[in-house]
Structure 1
Amino acid sequence: MMNAKTIATPETGASGSRHRTGSSSALVRTGLKLLSAGPVVILIALIILLSFLSPYFLTGRNLSNILSQTAVIALVAMGQHIVILTRGIDLSVGSNLALASVVGALVYQGTDSTVLVILAMILSGGLVGAVNGLVYVYGRLPHPFIITLATLSIAKGLALELSNGRAIQGMPEFVRAVGGGSVYGIPGSLFVVTGVVVVLLVIAKTMVWGRWIYAVGGRPEAALQMGIPVKSVLISAYVISGLCAGLGAVLLAGRTDAGSPLFGNLLELDTIAAVIIGGASFLGGRGHIGHALVGAIMIGVIRNALNLLNVDIFFQLIVIGVVIVIAVEADVLRNHLEGRMRTLQAVGKS
């Protein structure tokens, strides 16, 4: 007489295997969703925590200061985000911004035209971005790190030379209003950031160029085989990054009423951190413009909180560095989970 035990048959074994595979796949998908929403959840939790630690944090004046101080990082980080989507990096954004601000100040000294001053800063940024893209693509460099590191030094040197190493005071009234003014308590710079976000979202979601950016970053070899103009896409990404740096110069010069070769120090690190903290990937082909915004706001909130809590400024650099390490590790974990999910899905189909 047989024992009352479940006898494993090929059918029940396969069913159990499919059940385990389905459960594992569901867990992995849940983990991916949590990681994707992680930066936003962390930001909300951080805001709630800081509201208890400092009575000044949630005041209207302080929130306005955070938005104003974060605007430049957010704007430049959006350009950096486009570059990182293509598996690249732009180390020149800080020096590019400094050079653009100096160029704008010099143009203002020679003319009272607000339009010319703004165009000079934006085009100066775009020109440096174009140099980065052209040299990287047609110079057949192994990685954009090389050329953007070179233009970091070149742009900084030009800014120092043109300004004789000091700030040049004076900006048009409109630039001062946009960079440092406010409308009903809302910083004027926030409207500029919002406008750029809308433009980039429209381009990314409704134009073929947006799909090309993701294709080039996700699978460069496949993009070539599909006939996508990879070289043009890469160059355009660096031009956009440069234009965002030029716009950032308009905001910062307006806020300080000056152009300075000292602007933008470590801005490249802040923007890279903002993109990665927000959830984008160094591996390219994955990310959303909102990632750069969330990351930039998080950096601004952390720095503002550390100032309110009277934390030493040098320790703030340590904190930002630790946050970057955590964000990069989260990216590694996310890639591992995605690979695991693809494996489980392949097993489930077989």
Structure 2
Amino acid sequence: MADATGTRTPPALRTMRRELSLLAIVVLVLAGFGASTPRYLSAENLLNIGQQTAVIATVAYAMTAVIICRGVDISVGGTLAASSVLAALAMQSGGLPGGLGVLLVIAVGAAFGLLNGALASYAGISPLVATLAVCALARGMALSLSGARSVPVDSGLYLWFGSGSLFDVPVSFLIAVLLAGLWFLLLQRTVFGRWVYATGGNEDAARASLIPVRAVCLMTYVLAGASAGVGALLTTGRVGSAQPLSGAGLEFAAITAAVIGGTRLSGGHGSIVATALGALLLGAVNTGLSFLQVSQQVNYFVTGGFVIAAVVLGQRGSLLQFAPGSALRRRRSAPVAAAAQRAGTVDAVDAMAQPHTLELRAIGKRFGNVQALADVSLRLRSAEVLALVGENGAGKSTLVKLLAGIHTPQQGEILLDGRVLALASTQDSRAAGIAVIHQHFSLIPDLTVAENLALARGHLPKRFGCWLDRAAMRRSARQVLDALQLPVDPDAIVARLTIGQCQMVEIAKATLAEAWLIAMDEPTSALTNHERDLLYRLVGQLQQRGCCVLYISHKMQEIYRLAQRAVVLRDGRVVAEADLARTDAAALIRMMVGRDIREVFPFRPARTRDLLLDVRQLSDRRLLQGIDLQVRSGELVALTGLMGSGRTELLRCIAGFAPFTQGRVAIGGAALRVGSALHAARLGVAYVPEDRHREGFVGSMSLRDNLGLRWISAHNRAGFVAADGLRRLAAQLIARLGVRPPDAENLVQQLSGGNQQKIVLGKWLATEPRVLLLDEPTNGVDVGAKFEIHKLIADLKGQGVAILMVSSELPEVLGVADRIVVLSGGRVAGELARGATEEQVTGLAFKYA
């Protein structure tokens, strides 16, 4: 997250700022009510506020953990009532001593939490529905067992927790403070706490890091139930009896305290200290309103206002979006664009009617202290394919967002056919005939292809002006799909299309919107070979129809196949403009990285030793059939083939993330237990998945915590993280991997794609693996990062690691592999020695396809 100037703020500093802000607000509220009612600031009332806050805070701490883990628990009020009634009845009728009654009330609460966790984590029921059902069950149990009457408690020890005091301070308040410290230690200093944040931040990545996700979620619910039991103990002690209707609204108050404290309902973020301050703020406001004799209805309005304000402030950028240069600038820019259009400087563009030229002159864009673009000038013309190339972080995405109207330049100007063009919004961009196809598509998944294409026109066809004319939508969609020769059904639901088909629909949308300039950002990163070839043909068609295609890619092959010119960005500046017919790949790479990289895929000859990975006759009854494969220490074997040939499936079987039904996998001679990723990891297997965003890293966690996700499982002290060791590990890995910027406190989501991939790789290198499984390790990273990653892989080979790598990029396969194993239709089609040609690999890939 950036501050008002756009500078990245470390997560720890951002949390501290929020906590200090909340503390200041609490002090202001106390001072404000104290000025209105002097008795409000008396020692007696302040202690009363602390006592009233204790129950909310006790439950809110656990609620924070549940929400961090991407859950919610609305059963705590009912759990509190049932726990208090059951414990009171046990002490009243069974002669249970007060000490055992204390343990019983907490155990009953934990039992309800266990039920919540089992339903939400293991039965797969929505947490909202599961906890709602348990709330009703608990509340009904409390009412039926008590006969809807209070149950008196006469144990002095039991009552002391809610009504007693130590040194004139309520015991309940001291318990809330003690629990705050324990929860802080649990979440910030233990392995379990790291697991909670990882699970909430990215469940798939946590699971791929061998974190027991369901058990972690279950435990947070158990702790929430136990906390409700503690709340029952405190509540019963205050009134001297168990009330079957106690705890009503407690879940709302606990969630409110957590949200005010900055806990995000989307998971992965939260602070116990901030939650405690949120609970204290609620207690101070509620007590102050009571002093002023304000009605309960007004109290609800105030509490609701706090929640809304907290959620708004918790959004990315919060009120900082209103800082000079952001939303305010956009608001000023919109009238400029409108005035320009009224003056005739920008007309609606018909993409096919006439040629156009878009010129960027001395464009500059700064985000805080970061100069994203500086003095960028380039020209885009109709009927050409222009490649925009550069390393991650060079400014390509910022430039594309300027064209899309998402950002506005702070220096320079944009001209369309010689006339000044103000792109203050995405609507302005579309009106100028510009379409941007991002890696994350803008299609509506629940609508059909025809409906999505109709929306692209800006108006929907209707019959008699009353209802949608779906037949007209289908005809229009069929016309554009046929014109572009796209094999897509207009009636298909977008959610059921492949990524390649979605890519085609996005392009069809652009042509329907009469775009003459189409920017494509890494369009082939997730396509099959057939879909890639179809996209290449489509780019050629668009060029023939008079469109300009701004093509962003890290793959040299397709840049030279599709584009005529390349504009090279480095550090936010245009460093070169190359005629690709006269510029070879090596020269283009030098322009991009600013140094001489003789080989993008450096090769180090293997010095093979022991057999480390031995796969025999492996089958999974779905795709894989009788796979035999061996990899020795110090060897890199490339596994290639067409999309769907079984490459990823084989890696996941070896890593223990997928079961196989026949055959055997041995690591260093030890047989792998089928479907046990934990056993594979213990045998020395590390698996770097294909999709780093989904399974590789937890974006909401720091570099240090991501790098240590696996390491801390084996390097902890009775469950507590070895903080000094983790810091040393992170510093060593960041230096070894060449991560930029080298700040261990940065969030991984703030890094470029290449640096994110290094973090995923580093997480497993921390475990010192013997066998390294790499699934598309350089997918979507720039040339410089590819070189660095493969240099690291070559170093691992030299250290004796056995490496099995999946890649769809044939130059990469041919460049780094000692041996090549080609899969086709789930079977081994053949094995090739180093020096094989692309034709040989391709021929084997189609053998059983």
Contact kept, 8 Å, 1:105 with 1:171, in 2: the verdict is no
Contact kept, 8 Å, 2:313 with 2:319, in 1: the verdict is no
Distance 2:3 2:31 in 1: 37
Residue 218 (structure 1) aligns with: 201
State the shift of 1:77 in Å.
0.7
| Residue 286 in structure 1 maps to residue 282 in structure 2 | no
- Deviations 1:196-237, CA, capped at 9 Å, x for gaps: 222222222332111000000111111111111101000001
Distance 1:22 1:324 in 2: 22
Contact kept, 8 Å, 1:104 with 1:120, in 2: the verdict is yes
Distance 2:267 2:43 in 1: 37
Tell which deviates more after alignment, 236-245 or 305-314.
305-314
State the shift of 1:292 in Å.
1.7
Residue 248 (structure 2) aligns with: 265
1:300 to 275, 283, 296: 283
Residue 144 (structure 2) aligns with: 161
- Deviations 1:22-41, CA, capped at 9 Å, x for gaps: 98323878995755643222
Residue 178 (structure 2) aligns with: 195
1:118–1:346: structure 2 CA closer, same or farther, 3 Å change rule?
Answer: farther
1:250 to 233, 258, 262: 233
Which one-letter code corresponds to 2:75 in the other structure?
A: S
Contact kept, 8 Å, 1:35 with 1:330, in 2: the verdict is no
Distance 1:237 1:171 in 2: 32
2:82 to 99, 120, 125: 99
Aligned to 2:100, the other structure's residue is in SS state helix
Contact kept, 8 Å, 1:82 with 1:237, in 2: the verdict is yes
- TM-score normalized with structure 2 length: 0.37
Which one-letter code corresponds to 1:122 in the other structure?
A: I
Distance 2:283 2:95 in 1: 35
Distance 2:4 2:181 in 1: 39
Which one-letter code corresponds to 1:253 in the other structure?
A: T
| Residue 311 in structure 1 maps to residue 294 in structure 2 | yes
Contact kept, 8 Å, 1:171 with 1:253, in 2: the verdict is no
1:244–1:334: structure 2 CA closer, same or farther, 3 Å change rule?
Answer: farther
Which one-letter code corresponds to 2:191 in the other structure?
A: V
| Residue 186 in structure 1 maps to residue 169 in structure 2 | yes
Contact kept, 8 Å, 1:122 with 1:246, in 2: the verdict is yes
Contact kept, 8 Å, 1:171 with 1:254, in 2: the verdict is no
Distance 1:22 1:289 in 2: 23
Tell which deviates more after alignment, 72-81 or 46-55.
46-55
Distance 1:288 1:146 in 2: 26
Residue 24 (structure 1) aligns with: 5
Contact kept, 8 Å, 2:4 with 2:320, in 1: the verdict is no
Aligned to 1:311, the other structure's residue is in SS state coil
Residue 149 (structure 1) aligns with: 132
2:191 to 182, 185, 208: 208
State the shift of 1:336 in Å.
9.2
Contact kept, 8 Å, 1:39 with 1:295, in 2: the verdict is yes
Residue 138 (structure 1) aligns with: 122
Residue 320 (structure 1) aligns with: 303
1:36–1:58: structure 2 CA closer, same or farther, 3 Å change rule?
Answer: closer
2:99 to 115, 120, 123: 115
Distance 1:22 1:299 in 2: 27
Contact kept, 8 Å, 2:153 with 2:159, in 1: the verdict is no
Residue 127 (structure 1) aligns with: 111
| Residue 72 in structure 1 maps to residue 55 in structure 2 | yes
Contact kept, 8 Å, 2:65 with 2:220, in 1: the verdict is yes
1:260–1:198: structure 2 CA closer, same or farther, 3 Å change rule?
Answer: same
Aligned to 2:290, the other structure's residue is in SS state helix
Distance 2:27 2:201 in 1: 30
Contact kept, 8 Å, 2:184 with 2:273, in 1: the verdict is no
Residue 45 (structure 1) aligns with: 28
| Residue 227 in structure 1 maps to residue 227 in structure 2 | no
| Residue 56 in structure 1 maps to residue 39 in structure 2 | yes
Contact kept, 8 Å, 1:129 with 1:240, in 2: the verdict is yes
1:251–1:140: structure 2 CA closer, same or farther, 3 Å change rule?
Answer: same
Distance 1:115 1:213 in 2: 32
Which one-letter code corresponds to 1:39 in the other structure?
A: L
Which one-letter code corresponds to 1:46 in the other structure?
A: V
Contact kept, 8 Å, 1:32 with 1:334, in 2: the verdict is no
Aligned to 1:314, the other structure's residue is in SS state helix
State the shift of 1:334 in Å.
4.5
Aligned to 2:304, the other structure's residue is in SS state helix
| Residue 332 in structure 1 maps to residue 315 in structure 2 | yes
State the structure with more CA Rg. 2
**Greater RCO, 1 or 2 (C-alpha within 8 Å, sep 6+):** 1
Distance 1:96 1:80 in 2: 13
- TM-score normalized with structure 1 length: 0.87
1:346–1:179: structure 2 CA closer, same or farther, 3 Å change rule?
Answer: farther
Distance 1:27 1:89 in 2: 30
Distance 2:115 2:307 in 1: 28
Residue 11 (structure 1) aligns with: none
Distance 1:177 1:271 in 2: 24
Distance 1:237 1:335 in 2: 29
Aligned to 2:266, the other structure's residue is in SS state coil
Tell which deviates more after alignment, 33-42 or 164-173.
33-42
Distance 1:169 1:346 in 2: 69
State the shift of 1:335 in Å.
7.0
RMSD of the TM alignment (CA)?
2.5
- Deviations 1:230-279, CA, capped at 9 Å, x for gaps: 01000001001001000110111111111111100010000000000112
State the shift of 1:119 in Å.
1.3
Contact kept, 8 Å, 2:57 with 2:275, in 1: the verdict is yes
Contact kept, 8 Å, 1:129 with 1:243, in 2: the verdict is yes
Contact kept, 8 Å, 2:19 with 2:274, in 1: the verdict is no
Contact kept, 8 Å, 2:99 with 2:158, in 1: the verdict is no
Distance 1:66 1:168 in 2: 26
Distance 1:132 1:22 in 2: 39
